[in-house]
Amino acid sequence: MTRIEYEKMTVEKMIRLYCKLNKHGQPLCKDCQLLLDYALKRLDSCPFGNGKSTCRKCTVHCYKPDLREKMRAVMNRIQAQKIAEEQQNFIEEQK
């Protein structure tokens, strides 16, 4: 699997989970589908190709500002969900 393929898979999983957690719709609401389509297009156009770093570390910000903020919201929500799940697992292990 190439770096770009991995990034596409990761972005799709995050957006799908975000949409599900926020009860936007299944399989994806219109806004989340547009964000996913945009993200995949940006990855296809990445000037660094398979040598790219994560988007957060990238020196070229290829997302439009409003869509960059939407993607940040997705990532923050997913990160918060992951932390909550880890805390719940820890609590369960202590019982």
* Distance between CA atoms of residues 60 and 13, nearest Å: 23
11: pLDDT confidence band, cut at 50, 70 and 90?
very high
Residue 54: pLDDT over 90: no
Q: Is 52 left (phi over 0), alpha (psi -120 to 50) or beta?
A: beta
Q: What is the pTM of this model?
A: 0.80
* Distance between CA atoms of residues 25 and 91, nearest Å: 31
Q: What pLDDT is attached to residue 33?
A: 95
* Top-confidence residue, 20 or 25: 20
